[in-house]
A and B are shown apart, each in its own frame.
Chain A
Amino acid sequence: MTEVARRYRISLPTLAAASLVLVTLALALVFFVAPNDADQGFSQRIFYFHVSIAITAYFCFGLGAWKALVHLWKRDPRADLESYVAVHQGVIFGSLVLITGSIWAKISWGHWWLWSEDQLVLFLVLFLFYAAYFMLRYSVDPGPQRANFSAVYALFGVVLIPVSFMAIRLAKQAIHPVVFTLQGPKFGGWILVTYCVAQVAMLVLAYTLYRVELAGKRVDARVRELKEVLA
């Protein structure tokens, strides 16, 4: 099955340059422009990365599920690989959410792990779920069956996200006491600008990485195909 490479409007070097500029700008804003948090001081600045990475991870999982749907619905031969790569990026960004969340929790509250943090717990569940995605994918031979299994499982993921979130919210009421309540940051001025730039930077970075991995995987598949023809 020959996979047709998709034609993109924005070229990969442009994307890479854009993400370099945006990430640098975001770093500059986070460290030099955004004001210190009145309550948590300097350490609160990790918020700009933590939250934007989390939103980016959701986007990746969403993209993975959308491509999975395209695969099942339209039988687009390119969608399977795209879905896999999107989920892969989602897992990378999801792991970063766990790491940055842990660091933030340690500095703010003195514990590396807090069961009272909804987002952290949710990302742990999602991490376990999507880690199993790779186990599933690599224990089936490449082909239509693997594409179907991966697609169906990726779709389960987007169903699991809201359901788990509800469950974790519910669990906090009975099973775990609410120890810390995080007041919503008062958005305004440089805080908002910094957050928005960081968010856009992370999204562009994720998209760039997605395209890089996709390009690599497609070249890989093409080379293998040519080798088979030559052999």
Chain B
Amino acid sequence: MTYVRDVGALARKDLLLELRARDTLPAMLLFVVATFVVFHFALPSGSSDLAASGLLWVAIVFTALLGVGRAFVPEREQRVLDGLVLAPCDRSAIWLGKGIATLAFLAAAEVVALPVFALFFHGLNAATVAAVVLADLGICAVGTFLGAMAVATRARDLLLPLLFLPLAIPIVIGGVGASIVASPGRYLGFLVLYDAIFALVCWASFEYVVTE
């Protein structure tokens, strides 16, 4: 299928770029670990594990924001986006390829971040890890979409958090809920629903972001 091939090629391009330039991932890693250290001192000693669980989600959302903010920078600098839009492929493939690459960076950052969190604060249960995986999908779907919009505006980096955070509130609610309650099924189900709905909306409307 050409669509899958296109998406694969685009995602591969971003991963190769990152492998050679190493712009984004080290920054995300450093950022997330530094955030944990800040959180450690922000939490008064003797605070409950519940508070730390909440802060894990803050760290994840902000780290993702960092990655998403960088996602379309190469396209902007070299005017690659114009070429991609002219290429004979479905425009939503641009979003999907970029989303997959962003997801890979975020997942790589979390592979380090979650054990560090467990080391600094408290162990993580399976529900939290599942919620993180589900949240990553939603964050990357929505974040990549908004990143493509923000990069085309004058305000750029300033705008992305403003656009992204209100949309990330449901993710945080689902994620925090899943990590603190005894039976997280409903919260995980909600995250699946969020991912499905917003992935569909982004996929269907990305064309209008890159064309006039």
- Known contacts: A163-B197, A167-B170. The answer to whether A175 contacts B176 by CB under 8 A is yes
A-B contact pairs, 6 of them (CB 8 A): A128-B166, A129-B166, A136-B163, A139-B159, A151-B208, A166-B190
Interface assignment of B205: CB less than 8 Å from any CB of chain A: yes
- Stretch with Cβ within 8 A of A (4 or more), from B29-37, B118-126, B150-158: B150-158
A164's partner among B163, B170, B186 (CB-CB below 8 A) is: B170
Question: How many residues from B make CB contacts under 8 Å with A?
Answer: 32
- Stretch with Cβ within 8 A of B (4 or more), from A42-50, A154-162, A191-199: A154-162
In the complex, what residues of A have CB within 8 A of residue B201's CB?
A: 155-156, 159
B153's partner among A125, A139, A151 (CB-CB below 8 A) is: A139
Assembly CA distance A183 to B96 (angstroms)? 46
Question: How many residues from A make CB contacts under 8 Å with B?
Answer: 33
Beta-carbon contact of B170 and A136 below 8 Å: no
Beta-carbon contact of B167 and A72 below 8 Å: no
Interface members, chain B 172-212 (any A CB < 8 Å): 173-174, 176-177, 180-181, 186-187, 190, 193-194, 197-198, 201, 205, 208-209, 211-212
Interface assignment of B43: CB less than 8 Å from any CB of chain A: no
- Known contacts: A135-B159, A159-B198, A171-B173. The answer to whether A140 contacts B153 by CB under 8 A is yes
Nearest B residue (CB) for A140: B153
Write out, one digit per residue, whether chain A residues 142-181 have a CB within 8 A of any chain B CB (1) or not (0).
0111001101110110011001101110110111000000
Beta-carbon contact of A139 and B209 below 8 Å: no
Nearest A residue (CB) for B155: A139
Closest approach, in angstroms, between the C-beta of A205 and any C-beta of chain B?
Answer: 27
In the complex, what residues of B have CB within 8 A of residue A149's CB?
A: 149, 152-153, 209
Beta-carbon contact of B154 and A140 below 8 Å: yes
Nearest A residue (CB) for B186: A170
Beta-carbon contact of A128 and B170 below 8 Å: no
B177's partner among A129, A140, A170 (CB-CB below 8 A) is: A170
- Known contacts: A136-B153, A152-B208. The answer to whether A167 contacts B173 by CB under 8 A is yes
Give 16 new A-B contacts, CB below 8 A, not counting A159-B197, A159-B198.
Answer: A125-B166, A132-B162, A135-B155, A135-B163, A136-B149, A139-B153, A139-B159, A144-B212, A149-B152, A149-B209, A159-B201, A160-B167, A166-B193, A167-B174, A171-B176, A173-B181
Assembly CA distance A42 to B170 (angstroms)? 36
Q: Which residues of A contact B (CB under 8 A)?
A: 72, 125-126, 128-129, 131-132, 135-136, 139-140, 143-145, 148-149, 151-153, 155-156, 159-160, 163-164, 166-168, 170-171, 173-175
Q: Which of B152, B155, B166, B211 has the most CB of A within 10 A?
A: B166
Assembly CA distance A151 to B208 (angstroms)? 9
Assembly CA distance A125 to B194 (angstroms)? 16
In the complex, what residues of B have CB within 8 A of residue A155's CB?
A: 201, 205
Closest approach, in angstroms, between the C-beta of B95 and any C-beta of chain A?
Answer: 12
B167's partner among A135, A156, A166 (CB-CB below 8 A) is: A156
Interface assignment of B9: CB less than 8 Å from any CB of chain A: no
In the complex, what residues of A have CB within 8 A of residue B162's CB?
A: 131-132, 135
Assembly CA distance A95 to B12 (angstroms)? 45
Beta-carbon contact of A153 and B152 below 8 Å: no
- Known contacts: A139-B159, A152-B209. The answer to whether A174 contacts B167 by CB under 8 A is no
Interface assignment of B112: CB less than 8 Å from any CB of chain A: no
Assembly CA distance A13 to B182 (angstroms)? 60
